[in-house]
């Protein structure tokens, strides 16, 4: 490990930790659907409902459903806040009566706050609890919830069912499949980089997102030379400081692959300071901050989530549940690859599609 500016940087030279077994212990999204044909049909039906105009709830409600949301929403990426806005607006259009309680925390830093929020949410006995899975701490929280019988758990930002939970899965996994999105970015870079080009990876914090976006990228880039990789603290400041040191030690790098919006924007600041705008750098997610950076040519490419799909899908799933219909275990929204070479008209069209609810 290397230390500077009070940060611990975990280097993964040569070892690349779990890249040979990326996402071990999970069903890959498409693998799960192929192994469970009924689930595949349900997922396709939900995807169709997401793309179509809303159809009102067909049953009466005795009381509003209670929904608790605990999200790592305190970051530059606007995914989480847009997601909830789309969720609520679609519920309104569907005629679903609901009460919602939201708590936004910081990724990687608020484990205690998340724990307290989760326990508080469970005391109120919500009908639906929306949470995420990234760290082992999250996993322990989730297993506690799964032991209960009343609350239906929706896991956001993960679409790969945990194999160990086969006997009792969460009610739903929903998000934009990290592996699929990462594959699209890998395909893009394979077209523009010469084989054996040196590159570096800036992970999110240690956990599922880093494994799903970072390790699977390394696996895909087997004909290229990984010279360094670092965990960040999932924020701009740590990514900025790591990038300064990384590029000074490895000036030969042609690509800096980043695993999140905050990490990408911190790295962009460092590359500008070093005068190394020649290095390719990506975003991940295609939210407002990334699209602005693309149009300024600060980022070269991103994989853009059709952001509001997942909020709409959660609303449709709640409606289906109230109507007594079976709900799919997994759902992944759509992606589009967007580069700094794309014109403003194309980006504007994609924004209208991706943010069709959350920009209201």
> What rounded mean pLDDT belongs to the chain?
89
Q: Higher pLDDT residue, 141 or 73?
A: 141
Which helix (H) or strand (E) segment is 79 a member of? helix 79-94
Residue 215 is given by DSSP the state: I
Residue 22 is given by DSSP the state: T
* pLDDT of amino acid 123: 80
Count of C-beta atoms within a 10 Å radius of residue 67:
25
**Separation of alpha carbons 335 and 307, rounded Å:** 9
All structural domains of the chain, each given as residue ranges with its CATH number in brackets, are 29-46+61-176+306-333 (3.40.50.2300), 179-284 (3.40.50.2300)
* pLDDT of amino acid 122: 78
Beta strands 335-339 and 301-305 are: antiparallel
pLDDT-derived band at 7, boundaries 50, 70, 90: very low
Q: Tokens 């999110």: give the residue.
A: 204
Q: Over range 52-60, report the average pLDDT.
A: 97
- Pull the structure tokens for residue 287: 């939210």
Instruction: Calculate what percentage of the chain has a pLDDT beyond 70.
Output: 89
Q: Over range 240-264, report the average pLDDT.
A: 97
Count of C-beta atoms within a 10 Å radius of residue 119:
11
Per the CB < 8 A criterion, the answer to whether 193 and 280 are in contact is yes
- For 86, 198, 325, 340, the CA distances from 313, given in Å and listed in that order, are 9, 40, 14, 30
pLDDT-derived band at 24, boundaries 50, 70, 90: confident
Strand partners, 132: 156
pLDDT digits (tens, 9 = 90+) for 78-132: 888 899 999 999 999 999 999 998 876 665 555 666 667 777 777 888 999 998 8
Is a pLDDT exceeding 90 seen at residue 36?
yes
Q: Give the end-to-end CA distance of the chain in Å, rounded to a whole number.
A: 46
- Pull the structure tokens for residue 131: 């949470």
Q: Over range 30-41, report the average pLDDT.
A: 97
**Separation of alpha carbons 56 and 108, rounded Å:** 39
Decide: helix, strand or coil at residue 145: helix
* pLDDT of amino acid 105: 67
* pLDDT of amino acid 107: 55
Is a pLDDT exceeding 70 seen at residue 295?
yes
Is a pLDDT exceeding 90 seen at residue 140?
no
Q: Over range 15-43, report the average pLDDT.
A: 82
Q: Higher pLDDT residue, 80 or 185?
A: 185
CA-nearest of 314, 306, 315, 353 to 331 is: 314
**Separation of alpha carbons 159 and 149, rounded Å:** 22
* pLDDT of amino acid 303: 98
> Phi and psi at residue 123, in whole multiples of 5°?
-60, -30
Count of C-beta atoms within a 10 Å radius of residue 98:
18
DSSP 169-184: --SEEEE--HHHHHHH
* pLDDT of amino acid 179: 97
**Separation of alpha carbons 185 and 201, rounded Å:** 13
Q: Higher pLDDT residue, 149 or 67?
A: 67
- Pull the structure tokens for residue 204: 């999110």
Kindly tell me the burial class for residue 110, based on how many C-beta atoms sit within 10 Å of its own C-beta (0-12, 13-18, 19 or more). middle
**Separation of alpha carbons 356 and 317, rounded Å:** 19
pTM, rounded to two decimals? 0.90
Q: Give the side-chain half-sphere CA count within 13 A for 107.
A: 27
DSSP 272-312: HHHT-TTSEEB-SB--HHHHHHHHTTSSSEEEEE-TTHHHH
Decide: helix, strand or coil at residue 114: helix
């Amino acid at each position: 490990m290397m230390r500077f500016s009070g940060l611990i940087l975990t280097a993964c030279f040569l070892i690349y930790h779990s890249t040979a077994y990326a996402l071990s212990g999970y069903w890959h999204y498409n693998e799960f659907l192929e192994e469970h044909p009924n689930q595949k049909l349900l997922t396709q039906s939900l995807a169709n409902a997401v793309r179509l105009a809303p159809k009102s709830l067909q049953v009466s409600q005795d009381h509003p459903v209670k929904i608790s949301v605990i999200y790592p929403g305190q970051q530059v990426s606007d995914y989480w806040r847009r997601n909830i806005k789309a969720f609520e607006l679609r519920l309104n259009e569907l005629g679903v009566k609901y009460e919602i309680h939201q708590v936004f925390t910081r990724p990687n830093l608020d484990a205690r706050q998340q724990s307290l929020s989760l326990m508080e949410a469970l005391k109120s006995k919500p009908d639906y609890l929306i949470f995420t899975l990234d760290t082992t701490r999250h996993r322990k929280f989730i297993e506690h919830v799964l032991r209960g019988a009343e609350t239906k758990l929706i896991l956001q930002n993960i679409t790969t069912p945990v194999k160990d939970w086969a006997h009792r899965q969460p009610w739903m996994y929903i998000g934009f499949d990290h592996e699929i999105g990462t594959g699209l970015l890998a395909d893009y870079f394979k077209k523009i980089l010469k084989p054996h080009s040196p590159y570096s990876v800036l992970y999110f914090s240690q956990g599922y997102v880093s494994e799903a976006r970072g390790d699977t990228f390394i696996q895909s880039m087997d004909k290229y030379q990984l010279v360094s990789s670092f965990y960040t603290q999932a924020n701009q400041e740590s990514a900025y400081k790591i990038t300064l040191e990384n590029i000074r030690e490895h000036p030969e790098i042609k690509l800096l692959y980043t695993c999140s919006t905050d990490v990408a924007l911190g790295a962009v600041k460092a590359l500008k300071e070093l005068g190394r705008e020649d290095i390719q750098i990506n975003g991940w997610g295609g939210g407002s901050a990334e699209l602005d950076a693309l149009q300024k040519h600060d980022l070269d490419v991103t994989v853009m989530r059709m952001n509001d799909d997942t909020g709409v899908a959660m609303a449709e799933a709640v409606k289906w549940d109230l109507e007594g219909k079976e709900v799919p275990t997994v759902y992944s929204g759509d992606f589009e690859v967007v580069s700094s070479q794309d014109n403003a008209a194309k980006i504007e069209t994609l924004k209208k599609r991706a943010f069709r609810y959350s920009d209201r």
